[in-house]
Amino acid sequence: KAGVTQTPRYLIKTRGQQVTLSCSPISGHRSVSWYQQTPGQGLQFLFEYFSETQRNKGNFPGRFSGRQFSNSRSEMNVSTLELGDSALYLCASSLAAPLVAGELFFGEGSRLTVL
């Protein structure tokens, strides 16, 4: 069974640009969540989707957005990039539906560098 796939793995952008990251969950997983990982801030929750609906959102500005498609694949978008957006963005999928906790399966992450 294929794991969680994130693309691209590495990317470099300049301030003001926008970026779209993609995540393909494990087959059968309908829940996808996104996290930002930085050395100083640890792992910060961005948002969680279940069946194309955003169920939870973290404390990030509106420049960060996401969506989930009918096949459970998810994308997140960051507009007007800032230097502080440089981070490892992790996607995780889960069998869990809302109200049911389950193990998170993580992808390898997309490492974004903003110059």
Partner 1 sequence: AQTVTQSQPEMSVQEAETVTLSCTYDTSESDYYLFWYKQPPSRQMILVIRQEAYKQQNATENRFSVNFQKAAKSFSLKISDSQLGDAAMYFCAYRSRAAGKSTFGDGTTLTVKP
Q: What residue ranges bind partner 1 (CB under 8 A)?
A: 3, 31, 33, 35, 42-43, 45, 48, 50, 55-56, 90, 92, 96, 98-101, 103-104, 106-109
Residue 93: CB minimum distance to partner 1, A = 12
Least separation in angstroms between CB 75 and partner 1: 20
Q: What are the tokens at 103?
A: 């193990």
Q: Which residues pair with 37 in a beta bridge?
A: 43, 88
Q: Nearest approach, Cβ of 100 to partner 1 (angstroms)?
A: 7
- Cβ atoms within 10 A of the Cβ of 61, count? 10
Helix (H, G, I), strand (E, B) or coil at 68: strand
